[in-house]
Amino acid sequence: MIKTLPVFQGYTVDVRLREFRKVDPEWGMEFVSFNSYKGDVLLKRYIDTIDADTKEGLNLLIEIWK
């Protein structure tokens, strides 16, 4: 089974690795850790978009807070 990672504001969200990733042909690759200032800001905005009333949303929030 292939799992597609969510995309938020142009970044791929990898909860397992706890980072946002962006690949741009002109600028290269960017990795933003959840533990960095920029990652914290992105993560807060991303969490605001998650629907905790669904099973998928709730499971995603649990994974983020582990």
Residue 30 DSSP symbol: E
Give the CA count within 13 Å in the CB-facing half-sphere of 50: 20
By the 8 A CB rule, do 39 and 20 touch?
yes
Give residue-wise pLDDT tens across range 20-60: 999 999 989 999 999 999 999 999 999 999 999 999 999 99
| Dihedral pair phi/psi, residue 37, rounded to 5° | -60, -50
Q: Report the predicted TM-score, pTM, of the whole model to 2 decimal places.
A: 0.85
Alpha helices in the chain (DSSP H): 37-49, 55-65
The Cβ of residue 40 has, within 10 Å, a number of other Cβ atoms equal to 13
Residues in the chain: 66
